[in-house]
A and B are shown apart, each in its own frame.
Chain A
Amino acid sequence: MTAVREPVPLLAVENLTMRFGGLVAVDDVSFTAYRDEITAIIGPNGAGKTTVFNCLTGFYRPSAGKLVMHKGGELLRLERIEGFRIARRAGIARTFQNIRLFAGMTVLENLMVAQHAPLMKASAISLAGLLALPRYRRAERAAIERGRHWLERTGLTEQADWLAAALPYGAQRRLEIARALCTGPTLLCLDEPAAGLNPRESHELNDLLRSVREEHGLSILLIEHDMGVVMGISDHIVVLDYGRKISDGSPEFVRNDQAVIAAYLGVDEEAVEEVEAEVQL
């Protein structure tokens, strides 16, 4: 750990198992993500990383295990909350591996949709909204301001009125992160945010994530293949392989873990040194 502060647990995944028929996608995985930290989940393709995410964000109901979220002194059992409520109740926002924006709507509208719940409350099931009462107008202005703030942070202000589909790929990734941030989350789950980004863009992404965490007291859970991103910003790394956790610890620890290297090289643990010598690592 870099800082002297005592890590406070935020999300505890306990013995999570997810089966699809005969396939065990996630097998008895336990790990803890701490408050104000960036936790990365890495692993080869098909290791079950996205499945863990889908369980956390309510898209799948876990076959077994507990997902405990610490929120304001309260312990929330995520697997017992109805899927779409997790975002609001537990304060978990996510992005998707294959970008899922509201393509036919503008960038700013995407951010307004993310603030649906508070706006809906202010519009009193649309009645206050239909009559354009001051309390709704205030809430709408506040929502636009919040949208504008995240647009500035992600460098999308110029494109605010563009259709989301018209944005270049890297900007779409940033918009998806901005949209998730607009929900005001406690935990931000990013599924391969650097996929398809060029080195400069992924460097900017690193800066953004780091500063967001510091300024907004946000914890981040990250799935990533780009080791530059992972090693650069993570405080804590969890490594999955074939649905099992094979390593868990600081970047330095994971980097030197034989089991991890073996999984990435696709060989047995005993053969690691041999292969390393071969490829002159």
Chain B
Amino acid sequence: MTAASGLAVENTAKPPVFWAPLLRDAILAALVAVLLALPLVGLQTYDVGGGALGIRTHFDWVAWAGAAVFAGRFALRVLRQRYDARPMGETKHFAFLAVWAARQAVPLTLVGVAFAVMLPFLPFSSRYLVDLGTTVLIYVMLGWGLNVVVGLAGLLDLGYVAFYAVGAYTFALLARDLGFSFWEALPFSGLVAASFGVILGFPVLRLRGDYLAIVTLGFGEIIRIVLLNWASLTGGPNGISDIPRPSFFGLPFSRSAPEGVTTFHQFFGLEFSPEHRVVFLYFVILAMALVTNAFTLRIRKLPVGRAWEALREDELACRALGINPTTVKLSAFAIGAMFGGLAGCFFATRQGFISPESFTFIESATILAIVVLGGMGSQLGVVLAAILLVTLPEFGRAFAEFRMLIFGAAMVGVMVWRPRGLIAHRAPTLRLGLQPATR
């Protein structure tokens, strides 16, 4: 055999597997799993009777957890070494998905919008499904709003729910104290939330990354705690109830109306059905979300949008080019907050009742997860991630207590296979069109 053919054989052979580090790694992972499982799985409280609690131990379960993690980790590493020599985090699985989605953006959008419009009228549709669709769309809108701040301007905001709360409470208070209807209050909700965005923006102008995240997290909590404690204005933990429902150009969706007011079903000569309002709410949020999307897509191609992205890439270079980082950041915070506020206004009218309970940190985390999972800056990714994050726990109901487990596994899966998000693809805002853009 010549040297050349020997080399060729070398190249085609599978890379060797190094067992020792694999074993060490798997044992370490198993140890961590056992440590975690010991209090979480290994100890179980039960009622001994008379209100006292006893502790039951399940060390066999802990052992199983350890063994499962060991086997899983070991198998994963072996497969990785054998078939995929690339280091972790650089995986490009399903990259075709992102490229395909970017290329087919227009038809995909059309199909998606058409499906969303027809959803309430499809044969398998139900009140439950339309309600779920409404929830998904609220999160899509919030995701798109947060995408402006996080995805475009690169400002990590962990307190986005604050603007959602501000929008909701603005409407609730305007309705309770001044008798505003949903449509009258909607612009105010957006404006007030945008002002809060600017108020938050000022103190954090110099912060970036982790530091910014901590401050915004604090801001989110401040808003929630103020709402909780300022009982004379916000009703505290009791919240605000009897928030008016939206009307269809002045026609209310109620069974009967006071003298002189025509209801929706009377006007159109329909049998009264509570589903009319559900479907109407669905269309309202669909329209609001689509406006959000159109606005974001357009503003991205404007100087402001490009400045947001440039600021994310390099703030110093922006200054050297005469861009004022202050106004650019504040505008990103304001626009993002405005959409949060509009979504909050809708949330209030949909629920008819709001309390600080609805605006906890977990909401911020969910919205951020939607943006990150979808792929920072990707509008389509946000939709996919919102559908995934909202519907998965719902469909998981059949699995009872394993529901969150499935949810967690799905998140881990996405992060393993698509570490930069489902659709991590940035389309240029303009092209000279001489050569196709690389990557």
List chain A positions with a Cβ less than 8 A from chain B: 57-59, 83-88, 93-94, 96, 100-106, 108-109, 112-117, 119-120, 123, 126, 129-130, 144, 147-148, 151, 157-163, 166, 179-180, 183
Sample (18) of A-B pairs whose CB atoms are under 8 Å apart: A58-B319, A84-B322, A84-B324, A86-B322, A100-B314, A102-B310, A103-B314, A104-B309, A105-B313, A116-B303, A117-B323, A130-B299, A144-B430, A159-B435, A160-B432, A160-B434, A161-B438, A179-B321
A58 and B318 alpha carbons, distance in the complex (Å): 12
Q: Determine the chain B residues whose CB is within 8 A of the CB of A100 once the complex forms.
A: 314, 316-317, 320
Counting CB contacts under 8 A, is B307 at the interface? yes
Interface residues of B in 149-204 (CB under 8 A from A): none
> In the complex, which residue of chain A has the Cβ closest to the Cβ of B335?
A126
> In the complex, which residue of chain B has the Cβ closest to the Cβ of A103?
B313
- Select B433's contact among A113, A161, A179, beta carbons within 8 Å: A161
Asked whether A183 and B438 contact (CB < 8 A) given A109-B428, A109-B429, A161-B428, the answer is no
Asked whether A163 and B439 contact (CB < 8 A) given A84-B322, A87-B322, A109-B306, the answer is yes
How distant is A173 from chain B, measured CB to nearest CB, in Å?
14
Interface residues of B in 316-363 (CB under 8 A from A): 316-325
List chain B positions with a Cβ less than 8 A from chain A: 295, 298-299, 302-304, 306-307, 309-310, 312-314, 316-325, 426, 428-439
Q: Do residues B435 and A113 form an inter-chain contact, with CB atoms below 8 A? A: no
Asked whether A129 and B302 contact (CB < 8 A) given A105-B313, A161-B436, the answer is yes
Q: Do residues B320 and A102 form an inter-chain contact, with CB atoms below 8 A? A: no
Q: Do residues A85 and B322 form an inter-chain contact, with CB atoms below 8 A? A: yes
Q: Determine the chain A residues whose CB is within 8 A of the CB of B316 once the complex forms.
A: 59, 96, 100
How distant is A89 from chain B, measured CB to nearest CB, in Å?
8
- Select A101's contact among B295, B312, B314, B322, beta carbons within 8 Å: B314
How distant is B305 from chain A, measured CB to nearest CB, in Å?
9
> In the complex, which residue of chain A has the Cβ closest to the Cβ of B315?
A100
Q: Determine the chain A residues whose CB is within 8 A of the CB of B313 once the complex forms.
A: 101-105
A151 and B430 alpha carbons, distance in the complex (Å): 15
Asked whether A162 and B438 contact (CB < 8 A) given A102-B313, A104-B426, A130-B302, the answer is yes
Q: Determine the chain A residues whose CB is within 8 A of the CB of B303 once the complex forms.
A: 112, 115-116, 119-120, 123, 126, 129
Q: Do residues B432 and A113 form an inter-chain contact, with CB atoms below 8 A? A: no
User: What 9 additional pairs, Cβ within 8 angstroms, besides A87-B320, A103-B314?
Assistant: A85-B324, A86-B322, A105-B309, A108-B432, A120-B303, A123-B304, A148-B432, A157-B434, A183-B322
Q: Determine the chain B residues whose CB is within 8 A of the CB of A120 once the complex forms.
A: 303-304, 307
> In the complex, which residue of chain B has the Cβ closest to the Cβ of A91?
B322
Q: Do residues B432 and A123 form an inter-chain contact, with CB atoms below 8 A? A: no
Q: Do residues B310 and A105 form an inter-chain contact, with CB atoms below 8 A? A: yes
How distant is B183 from chain A, measured CB to nearest CB, in Å?
22
A93 and B312 alpha carbons, distance in the complex (Å): 20
- Listed from nearest, the 10 A-B pairs whose CB atoms lie closest are A87-B322, A160-B432, A102-B313, A119-B303, A129-B302, A100-B317, A88-B322, A161-B437, A113-B310, A84-B319
Q: Determine the chain B residues whose CB is within 8 A of the CB of A104 once the complex forms.
A: 309, 312-313, 426
Q: Do residues A93 and B434 form an inter-chain contact, with CB atoms below 8 A? A: no
Q: Do residues B302 and A123 form an inter-chain contact, with CB atoms below 8 A? A: yes
Q: Do residues B430 and A112 form an inter-chain contact, with CB atoms below 8 A? A: yes
A141 and B434 alpha carbons, distance in the complex (Å): 16
A233 and B4 alpha carbons, distance in the complex (Å): 52
How distant is B423 from chain A, measured CB to nearest CB, in Å?
15
How distant is A92 from chain B, measured CB to nearest CB, in Å?
9
Q: Do residues B430 and A108 form an inter-chain contact, with CB atoms below 8 A? A: yes
> In the complex, which residue of chain B has the Cβ closest to the Cβ of A136?
B302
Q: Do residues B321 and A114 form an inter-chain contact, with CB atoms below 8 A? A: yes
A93 and B323 alpha carbons, distance in the complex (Å): 12
Q: Determine the chain A residues whose CB is within 8 A of the CB of B325 once the complex forms.
A: 84
> In the complex, which residue of chain B has the Cβ closest to the Cβ of A58?
B319
A85 and B428 alpha carbons, distance in the complex (Å): 28
Q: Do residues B439 and A166 form an inter-chain contact, with CB atoms below 8 A? A: yes
Asked whether A93 and B426 contact (CB < 8 A) given A113-B307, A120-B304, the answer is no
> In the complex, which residue of chain A has the Cβ closest to the Cβ of B430?
A108
Q: Determine the chain A residues whose CB is within 8 A of the CB of B434 once the complex forms.
A: 157-158, 160-161
Q: Do residues A105 and B428 form an inter-chain contact, with CB atoms below 8 A? A: yes
Q: Do residues A59 and B306 form an inter-chain contact, with CB atoms below 8 A? A: no
A163 and B325 alpha carbons, distance in the complex (Å): 23
Q: Determine the chain B residues whose CB is within 8 A of the CB of A105 once the complex forms.
A: 306, 309-310, 313, 428
